[in-house]
Amino acid sequence: MTPSAPLRRTSSAIAPSPTANATAGPHYRVSVADAQAHQFCVELELSDPASGGQEFWLPVWIPGSYLVREFARHVLQLQAWCAGKPVAVEKIAKNRWRAAPCVGPLRLRYTVYAFDPSVRTAYLDGSRGFFNPSSLLLAASGREQQTHTVDIVCPDFAPQWTLATTLPALQCAANGFGTRQAGSYAALIDHPLEMGDLLRLEFSAGGARHAMVIAHGEFL
């Protein structure tokens, strides 16, 4: 596998949020690698990795459910590049990796097996996708308090899909796909994401507007 072009924030047919904060930090790109094999592809770019070797990790818990989880066992084919050249990556704990020292932007690419129909991890097939960022997006050690941005890409095989999440939009299309951001890694993993043929219902209660999204809404 060879490195792709540097990550660029999705920008077609989208309008920037007037409150967008473009502070540099870890930038992710999430796409569908193989829906039938239940695999997401994740790319991560870090502009200034730690000089002694950059570490990355996944949580062993999820906000709101603090039992010990093993999200890292679903991370597959983790590779890294710097200036277009491969960088060695060593697994140093069950949920932690270290990339060899390099000068310049560091890029990671890996796939995540997603076939858990519960709300705790991630799921993907040809009809819908779902993930909690805590099971998909590696944290960059020492950068957890920086602003994090993530591009979520609509799969080519399902251009009619929409995306539902409370993760703040930075530059997003009307279907919800595009670039979103969080002020820290802790904030990032507190927003699940659902994609597919979604039915969205809006209503008012107690003087407040509410929205409800139903997966497989086309069958209702």
Whether residue 209 is contained in a domain is answered as: no
Contact 165, 176 (CB under 8 A): yes
Q: Provide the β-strand partners of residue 163.
A: 195
Whether residue 218 is contained in a domain is answered as: no
Whether residue 68 is contained in a domain is answered as: yes
Which residues contact residue 54 at a Cβ distance below 8 angstroms, ignoring those fewer than 6 apart? 46, 98, 99, 106, 140, 141
- What's the alpha-carbon Rg for the chain, to the nearest Å? 17
Q: Provide the β-strand partners of residue 210.
A: 203
Whether residue 120 is contained in a domain is answered as: yes
Give the lowest-confidence range in 19-23, 30-34, 59-63, 174-178: 19-23
Whether residue 201 is contained in a domain is answered as: no
pTM, full prediction: 0.85
Q: What is the side-by-side strand order in the sheet with 193-196? A: 122-124, 128-131, 193-196, 162-165
The predicted pLDDT at position 106 comes to 97
Contact 179, 55 (CB under 8 A): no
The predicted pLDDT at position 7 comes to 59
Whether residue 163 is contained in a domain is answered as: yes
Whether residue 3 is contained in a domain is answered as: no
pLDDT class for 3, splitting at 50, 70, 90? low
Average pLDDT, integer, range 141-150: 97
Per the structure, the count of domains in the chain is 1
Domain with 167, as residue range(s), is 24-193
**Residue 151 belongs to domain with CATH number:** 2.60.40.3650
Whether residue 5 is contained in a domain is answered as: no
Contact 200, 211 (CB under 8 A): yes
